[in-house]
């Protein structure tokens, strides 16, 4: 029998035993991330084609910068989405926040696949593309963090790192799926057909993943144990105000930790397909195949590193991954420049370092915040960092490589970002296995 207690934020803790969801609910919590990152990945992988279809053809560089600029603009909506869905998650429960974010992403993904191009409607085409990307940025603002919180809150303390890592695995799985669909689409048609209409296929297929996600979330999470409710008579305070008042320092620390997660992920597993084509001269098909293999490595290794953090603590594993990014980014980028085999080995090296760092991160972030404003505090800090570092990373890399002719610019940028996250990780308090209430 569990003892009901009241925390300082006015929530009842019904005990961990009554708050463990069935496997179906955990799958539903993780699966939405696959949908969210599937679309973001598909757009990044096909950025060069979007540049040709949605912007004037007079300057290829300007078109590519504009395509990645729209990619970056969607990230600016993520902090707003974090506040919105954090408020819903903290005040009305995890389920409505998870369901609404998945529905919004499904609708906007399919709509992108139906958009007319610049050749058809002129300047209105990039405007509509921008609006849909902003809507996607809003929806993704609450998805990853809310699902990580849902998974962590419903996991046994000794397996919290492993279970919460499924949120990241969903993201990696979605990116992998986007890469695979992009690679298969490129393999099955000519370049002209891919530019003319084939690029629409990955986005239209989003309705399948989105529909399954919505069905599973409605069926599974509906029957999952409810989140702790407000105690009768407790003072009601806006989650955003509570987060800023009580968790401001940890929000800054979490944002610094997530800088490498954002910049590294979108630089190494979205932009690199373009980098390998421009610097190495690899075909789009081969670069997507290499990226797919690397994403499989992340998907397999991240839960293993997360499980390791359940045994030895989050901090040592995270520090190892970040230190590796600082020490090995330069030589790994050198490998990327040495042909197809070197590109594969280089990106696999980055896959190992990313998994080491990213695997324990979801549980680490959840453990940093108290339950009263956990969704809001985590969503806002995470999405501010992703907006600053993740959304701009491909655009910065394109500028350094194309305009400054500095092929190693992305490596220097990644090293600088990793140093900031490493400094934040050194100040972490170890809370693996501690009560979340």
pLDDT tens column, 38-89: 876 677 667 778 878 887 766 666 677 777 777 677 777 888 888 888 888 8
C-alpha to C-alpha distance for 277 and 221, rounded to whole angstroms: 43
- 260-275 burial, b at 16+ Cβ within 10 Å, e below that, comes to bbbbbbbbbbbbbbbb
Task: Say if residues 370 and 9 touch (Cβ distance below 8 Å).
Answer: yes
C-alpha to C-alpha distance for 62 and 32, rounded to whole angstroms: 33
C-alpha to C-alpha distance for 94 and 229, rounded to whole angstroms: 12
pLDDT tens column, 91-130: 777 778 888 888 888 888 899 899 998 888 888 888 888 8
C-alpha to C-alpha distance for 258 and 145, rounded to whole angstroms: 12
- Report DSSP letters for 49-96, one per residue: HHHHHHS-TT-HHHHHHHHHHHHHHHHHTHHHHHHHHHHHHHHH-HHH
Structure tokens at 172: 């990696």
Question: What phi and psi, each to the nearest 5 degrees, are found at residue 287?
Answer: -65, -40
pLDDT tens column, 190-237: 878 888 888 898 889 888 888 888 887 776 554 444 444 444 445 556
Look at the pTM and tell me if it is higher than 0.75.
yes
């Amino acid at each position: 029998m569990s003892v009901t207690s009241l925390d300082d934020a006015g929530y009842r803790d019904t005990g961990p035993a009554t708050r463990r969801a069935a496997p179906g609910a955990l799958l539903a919590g993780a699966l939405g991330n696959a949908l969210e990152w599937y679309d973001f990945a598909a757009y990044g992988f096909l950025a060069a084609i979007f540049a040709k279809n949605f912007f004037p053809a007079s300057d290829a560089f300007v078109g590519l910068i504009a395509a990645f600029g729209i990619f970056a603009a969607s990230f600016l909506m993520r902090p707003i989405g974090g506040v919105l869905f954090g408020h819903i998650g903290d005040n009305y429960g995890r389920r409505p926040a998870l369901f609404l974010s998945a529905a919004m992403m499904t609708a906007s993904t399919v709509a992108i696949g139906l958009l007319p191009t610049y050749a058809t409607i002129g300047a209105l085409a990039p405007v509509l593309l921008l609006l849909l990307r902003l809507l996607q940025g809003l929806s993704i603002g609450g998805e990853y963090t809310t699902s990580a919180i849902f998974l962590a809150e419903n996991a046994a303390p000794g397996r919290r790192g492993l279970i919460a890592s499924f949120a990241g695995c969903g993201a990696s799985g979605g990116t992998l799926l986007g890469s695979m669909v992009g690679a298969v689409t490129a393999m099955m048609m000519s370049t002209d057909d891919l530019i003319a209409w084939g690029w629409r296929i990955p986005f239209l297929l989003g309705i399948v993943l989105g529909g399954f996600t919505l069905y599973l979330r409605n069926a599974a999470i509906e029957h999952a144990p409810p989140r702790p409710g407000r105690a009768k008579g407790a003072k009601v305070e806006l989650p955003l105000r509570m987060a800023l008042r009580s968790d401001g320092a940890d929000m800054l620390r979490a944002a610094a930790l997530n800088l490498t997660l954002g910049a590294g992920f979108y630089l190494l597993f979205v932009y690199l397909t373009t980098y390998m084509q421009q610097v190495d001269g690899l075909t789009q098909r081969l670069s997507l195949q290499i990226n797919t293999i690397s994403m499989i490595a992340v998907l397999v290794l991240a839960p293993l590193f997360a499980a390791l953090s359940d045994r030895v603590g989050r901090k040592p594993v995270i520090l190892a991954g970040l230190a590796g990014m600082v020490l090995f980014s330069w030589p790994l980028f050198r490998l990327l420049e040495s042909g197809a085999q070197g590109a594969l080995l280089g990106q696999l090296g980055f896959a190992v370092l990313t998994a080491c760092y990213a695997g324990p991160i979801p549980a680490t972030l959840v453990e940093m915040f108290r339950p009263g404003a956990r969704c809001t505090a985590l969503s806002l800090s995470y999405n501010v960092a992703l907006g600053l570092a993740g959304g701009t990373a491909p655009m910065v890399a394109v500028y350094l490589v194309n305009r400054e002719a500095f092929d190693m610019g992305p490596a220097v940028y990644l090293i600088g970002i990793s140093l900031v996250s490493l400094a934040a990780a050194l100040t972490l308090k170890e809370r693996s296995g501690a009560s979340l209430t």
